[in-house]
Amino acid sequence: MIHLLSGWFPTVAEVVTVAVVLAAIGWRTRRWRVLWVPVAAAVGAVVAVIVYVILDARGLSPDSAPTLFWVWTVVGSAVVILTIVGIRSGRWWQHVSMAFAIVLAVFCLALSVNQWSGYYPTLDRAVAGLTAQPLPNETTVAKLVTFRNRPETVKNGRVVAIRTPSAISRFHPRTEYVYLPPAWFTGATPPPLPAVIMIGGVVNTPQDWVRSGDALAISDAYARDHGGRAPILVLVDPSGNLTTDTECVDGPRGNVDTHITDEVRPYVISHFGAASAARNWAVVGWSMGGTCAIDLVVRHPEKFATFVDISGDIGPNVGNKQSTIKALYGGDSRAWDRFDPATVMRAHGRYTDVAGWFRSEGHRSKKDGAIVSSQAEAARELSAIARSVGISTSERYSVGPHTWAFGAQSFAEALPWLHNRIDPGTVG
């Protein structure tokens, strides 16, 4: 298994790329060395600044990017400039090596982005995701009946792709998925199991909680220790495409709140026999998904009674309040109040039988030793407000990066508590 987040593969790729870049640049002429190489490096630095500004404007925390991300941004941009200005100079093999240098620099940049997000931990998962291979244990709805009451064939759960309605929301999701634990296949008809909406980060696909967040492996392991029982997992599409940041609200970018509450939830109940009570439904999310998780629950306590907010923000945002109102809500300032979780909780008043789990990462403060990050501060503030209106909360903080690996670890930690909440009587 080739690991992409650490180990020999990224190191070898970077060393090879440095060697190819140096060979491609070469010594050439004095003008090349004194003028064009420094100019190209300067242009690369400018590109890095522009990238920083763009990421910051979109709320993507450029300060948390690894150093190598900025190194390869500068190097890649510089090599492109040198390739253009060096067309008329240098030998043929230098032109060829320049082309290879561009490809390798882009590859190393992609590796650094992946290390930043933890999106694909291994090469095989990257290949599976990028080539749209089936998810582990994926089957079709038509074949589900062949597994019923055959425990020898359902030691792990099964995943099916679903096409949910969009007539109410007018939101057009990509293919969404449902994970059915082994217990779902027992009996003449499916038992009314609890269900969990699973939501990923800003840059996302509905498959991310499987390929990047290990949700299926975690749930299968839990089910093996609990007689096959685990929640139904509903892997929703919160964006409609890879990069649209909807924050799961209703607005010009898509009516995602309506899609999840009025289309996905009823569909899973009617098609898979999931329990219908709010106590049996939860929302789990990482990063943007964490923001979505608390927001959906406090806005719709009649449909969801439990949330797990992993490294979410203080509320739906794409920057500051003004830019958020403009981009997410089409300039409707009242929509901010309808979707800001702190405002929603205060306006709602006391909740009954609602609970949440906050899990955030950050760095340790030199001043008092507390875990510090924007997500940790958001969790503390939202947890305090939640408790003041009757929502039971748990908070956990640790040192670490804002990556999918942290999201996966946090889901594994939360699952026993979560399942006990939404499947009363389960011994966790």
User: In order along the chain (428 residues), what is the average pLDDT of each group of 10 residues?
Assistant: 90 95 87 91 97 81 87 96 84 85 96 88 88 93 92 88 96 98 94 98 93 97 96 98 93 98 98 98 98 99 99 94 94 97 98 98 90 95 99 96 94 98 74
SS3 of 377, please?
A: helix
Q: Based on the domain organization, do 175 and 297 belong to the same domain?
A: yes
Residue 110 sits in the same domain as residue 210: no
Note whether 108 and 79 are same-domain residues: yes
Write the CB contacts of 378 (distance below 8 Å, at least 6 apart in sequence): 312, 313, 314, 315, 360
Q: What pLDDT is stored for residue 426 in this prediction?
A: 59
Question: Is there a single domain that holds both residue 214 and residue 154?
Answer: yes
Structure tokens at 420: 């006990």
- Residue 104 within any structural domain of the chain: yes
The residue among 89, 117, 145 that closes a domain is 117
Within a domain: 123: no
Examine the domain organization and report whether 195 and 298 are in the same domain: yes
Looking at residue 403, which CATH number applies to its domain? 3.40.50.1820
**Residue-wise over 256-295: b if at least 16 C-beta within 10 A, else e?**
bbbbbbbbbbbbbbeebbbbeebbbbbbbbbbbbbbbbbb
If phi > 0 it is left, if psi is from -120 to 50 it is alpha, else beta; for residue 397 that is beta
Instruction: Indicate whether 349 belongs to any domain.
Output: yes
Q: 113 and 139 share a domain?
A: no
Query: How many C-alpha atoms does 113 have within 13 Å on its Cβ side?
Result: 13
- The answer to whether residues 42 and 98 belong to one domain is yes
Q: Do 65 and 178 sit in the same domain of this protein?
A: no
**Are 107 and 231 part of one and the same domain?**
no
The whole-model pTM stands at 0.89
In a domain, 125, yes or no: no
Neighbours of 199 (CB within 10 A): 30
> Is residue 89 domain-shared with residue 146, that is, in the same domain?
no
Residue range(s) defining the domain that contains residue 306: 132-422
**What confidence score (pLDDT) does residue 91 get?**
78
- Report CA torsion sign: 367, 371, 376, 382: negative
Same domain assignment for residues 272 and 415: yes
In a domain, 153, yes or no: yes
Type of residue at 346: R
Residues 369 and 248 in one domain: yes
Residue 428's pLDDT is what? Answer: 47
Tell me if 1 is assigned to some domain: no
The per-residue pLDDT for 150 is: 85
If one counts the domains in the chain, the total is 2
In a domain? residue 408: yes
Per 3-state DSSP, what percentage of the chain is helix, strand, and coil (rounded to 5)?
Answer: 50, 15, 35
